[in-house]
Every structure is written in C-alpha cells, then in structure tokens.
C-alpha cells in the first residue's frame, strides 16, 4: 500500500513540475510576443511631428500624477486639449468611440484643462479631466490636437498618434492598428 501512495505522490509532483515548466514557457512566449509587436510599432511610427516641437521617437514617459497607468501590460491614453480644433474632433471622436467600445479596459481618455471641448460631440467613452498646470510628459511636448500614446505600466511611451486636420484616414488607420495590436497581445 505504501508503495502505491509513494508512486501517486511522485506522479503528482511530476505533473506539478510539468505544469510549472509549461506556465514558464507560456509566459516567456507572451512576453517575447509583446516586445516583438512593440518594436514593430516603434519602427512603423512616424518619427517626428514638426509642430510638436519634440521627436517622440526617443524615450518619453508619462509623469502627470492624474494619469492612470495600468498595473500590467500596455494601454492607450488619449489626451484631448481644451483648445482642440473642432474639425479634428469631428473626425477623431467617432474613431475613439469605436476603439473605446472594443478596448475600454485598456484605454484611458483625458480632457486637458477646464473647458470640456467634447460636450458638443456624441461620445461613447468615459473620460477624466486633468489639469493643464502640470506636465504630462517628462520632456516638454507641445500639442493642441488630440494625442494618443501607447504606454506600458511604468508610463513609457512606445507609440503615438496626433490628430491632424483633414486626415480622417490617418486617424482611422491608427485606431485600427491599435485594435489589432491589442488583439494580438491578448
């Protein structure tokens, strides 16, 4: 009888060890997959928006205390300045709505300043109002149109997009790319 119990115990230990090895390989694969997709996004992004007065292709991080960073993984934060142009918002809001409906758990949207610029638009997303008295990034970046940034749990920016007048296709493509990215890393 003791021999049978000992052999059952060994089998359980063996199964447990195999499960740990499998879980380890799965987590390593997932991490490699996320890093690969982030590097592809980094290579594909536009290197410089001249009107930003900063090249976001170098390392930039979020420092604003009211910006919510997800505990793990990557997320998309969208910043809408109070002085955003109405024509940019006209094209941007429908794309944000569609993206948010599919990816609300990985998306945070912020209105920068006191004036709620999106009251006149049909929004399907929740947002936070944050102060424009504090810097959002650790580098000085000026923007007056909606800006979306893909970031990790530490606030490091991996990809970005800034809305431009009469560029609705660019907006649509960005949010479709982010949607595909989130589906890939899930």
Cβ atoms of 92 and 148 closer than 8 Å? no
- What is the per-residue pLDDT across 100-121, written as a single tens digit (0 to 9) for each? 999 999 999 999 988 777 888 8
Cβ atoms of 181 and 39 closer than 8 Å? no
- What is the per-residue pLDDT across 1-52, written as a single tens digit (0 to 9) for each? 454 556 777 888 778 777 877 766 666 666 666 666 665 555 554 444 444 4
State how far the Cα of 112 lies from the Cα of 11, in Å rounded to an integer.
Answer: 59
Q: Which residues contact 167 (CB under 8 A, 6 or more apart)?
A: 91
Cβ atoms of 79 and 156 closer than 8 Å? no
Segments in 45-114 forming alpha helices (H): 86-103
Q: Which residues contact 180 (CB under 8 A, 6 or more apart)?
A: none
Sheet with 147-152: strands ordered across: 128-130, 107-112, 74-81, 147-152, 157-162
Segments in 45-121 forming alpha helices (H): 86-103
SS3 164: coil
Q: Which helix (H) or strand (E) holds 18?
A: helix 2-44
The pTM for the full model equals 0.72
Per-residue confidence (pLDDT) for residue 46, from 0 to 100: 42
Which tokens hold the place of 111? 């209105």
Tokens 């290197």, residue located: 47
Per-residue confidence (pLDDT) for residue 56, from 0 to 100: 52
CA-wise closest residue to 100 among 122, 76, 130, 136: 76
- What is the per-residue pLDDT across 116-160, written as a single tens digit (0 to 9) for each? 778 888 888 999 999 988 999 998 888 889 999 999 999 999 888
Q: Which helix (H) or strand (E) holds 174?
A: helix 168-185
């Amino acid at each position: 009888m003791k021999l049978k119990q000992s052999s059952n115990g060994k089998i359980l230990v063996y199964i447990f060890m195999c499960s740990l090895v499998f879980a380890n390989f799965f987590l390593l694969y997932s991490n490699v997959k996320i890093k690969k997709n982030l590097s592809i996004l980094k290579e594909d992004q536009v290197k410089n928006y001249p009107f930003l007065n900063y090249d976001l292709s170098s390392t930039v991080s979020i420092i604003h205390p009211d910006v919510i960073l997800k505990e793990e993984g990557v997320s998309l934060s969208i910043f809408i300045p109070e002085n955003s142009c109405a024509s940019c918002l006209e094209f941007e809001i429908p794309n944000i709505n569609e993206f948010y409906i599919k990816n609300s758990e990985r998306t945070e949207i912020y209105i920068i300043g006191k004036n709620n610029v999106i009251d006149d638009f049909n929004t399907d997303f929740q947002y936070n109002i944050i102060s424009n008295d504090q810097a959002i990034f650790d580098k000085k970046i000026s923007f007056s149109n909606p800006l979306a940034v893909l970031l990790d749990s530490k606030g490091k920016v991996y990809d970005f997009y800034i809305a431009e007048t009469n560029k609705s296709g660019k907006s649509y493509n960005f949010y479709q790319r982010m949607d595909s990215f989130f589906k890939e890393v899930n």
